[in-house]
Amino acid sequence: MIRLKNQAMAIILATQDKKELEVLWLKYLGKKGELTSLIKEIPKLDQIKRKEIGMLANDVKRAIEETIDSQKLKAEDQRLKTKEFLDVTMPGKQPPLGHLHLISQAIEEITRIFERIGFKKVTYPEVEWDWYAFTGLNMPQNHPARDEWETFFVENLSHPKYGQTVLTPHTSSGQLREMERVGRPPIKMLNIAKCYRRQSDISHAPMFYQFEGLVIDQGINITNLKGTLDYFAKEYFGRERKTRIRPFHFQFTEPSFEVDVTCLVCAGKGCRACKQGWMELGGAGMVHSVVLKNGGIDPKKFTGFAFGWGVERVLMMKYGIPDIRLLFSGNLRFLNQF
Ligand code: PHE
């Protein structure tokens, strides 16, 4: 019996294979197992021997069982260890790094360009009174020019002096607010904000961004405006780009212009993407004397210029993005390119 025990122990301890351990269990403890057979012989022994051998057999049985169990546990342990093995020297998984949305990047870039020449970035209400968006900008009630801004009106009691409530249809509404805030020129404002108009196609979205510049001081003239536009075009689009101004009409500027920049594709020679080498940027002009007066500034002492362009528009012109809706799609395959 002792020999059986020693032999069994040696074999069991030599393996941690679960299947082999099952086989060994059967070999010793199964119905026809070696130990079982020996135990079956016990009743044939005489009384004193029977008791002694009986106790020994129990010990051997327990020892074999315990050893098999502990080998099984070791096997399980080993399995877990190999499976969850932690190699601290292994390079980690790189979490994907995000970045600012392209429109936010453009807003930051435009801000930096104008801050370098002394413009101060401001923000004004997105839900605004009619006065700041229209009437104060020399567009009286029912004036046909208002139709160009397909305005969203907010249901609200109208203000006795400032009129109805609107979602800002352009950043020009910041002009009067800035004049009121600063009081006395010089003024060098950069107002970048969300604008809302009832429009939606490949180059218009109902919510978009504009950036508006306003400069008011003594002796400000068109050459200051042209210089500022050229500076922006070169900084934002590239050294080789040029701007031109064309006569246009806005109620709040006189004279008014539309600003073009040389085409990205043909560099001014003329191609299918542009109008004879030029691409339209947006509006600008010299601040109308009525607007200066409405802002509490004496038009005999001070003059100023203003321009207001779409952030998405300049962005699309810089990179040749064909459809404004891509910018609002949240499509990562598009956005990750920038
Ligand atoms: N506010 C005008 C627009 O939305 C643009 C503009 C701004 C024109 C400033 C002249 C001066 O179209």
What integer pLDDT is reported at residue 293 of this predicted model?
98
Model pTM score: 0.72
Q: pLDDT band for 270, please (50, 70, 90 cuts).
A: confident
Identify the three-state secondary structure at position 296.
coil
Is residue 279 within 8 A of residue 260, CB to CB? The reply is yes
d(C-alpha 20, C-alpha 31), whole Å: 17
pLDDT of 122 above 90:
yes
Tell me 136's DSSP state. G
Our mutation pick for probing the ligand 1 site, out of 250, 280, 307, counting the most ligand atoms within 8 A of Cβ, is 250
107 vs 14 pLDDT, higher one? 107
Our mutation pick for probing the ligand 1 site, out of 137, 147, 168, 170, counting the most ligand atoms within 8 A of Cβ, is 170
pLDDT of 317 above 90:
no
Which ligand 1 atom lies nearest to the CA of residue 170?
4
Residue nearest to atom 4 of ligand 1 (CA): 170
What integer pLDDT is reported at residue 211 of this predicted model?
97
Q: What's the mean pLDDT when you consider all of the chain?
A: 91
267 CA to centre of ligand 1 in angstroms:
26
Q: pLDDT band for 301, please (50, 70, 90 cuts).
A: very high
251 CA to centre of ligand 1 in angstroms:
9
Poorest-confidence range of 79-93, 216-230, 246-260?
A: 79-93
185 CA to centre of ligand 1 in angstroms:
21
pLDDT of 284 above 80:
yes
Q: pLDDT band for 268, please (50, 70, 90 cuts).
A: confident
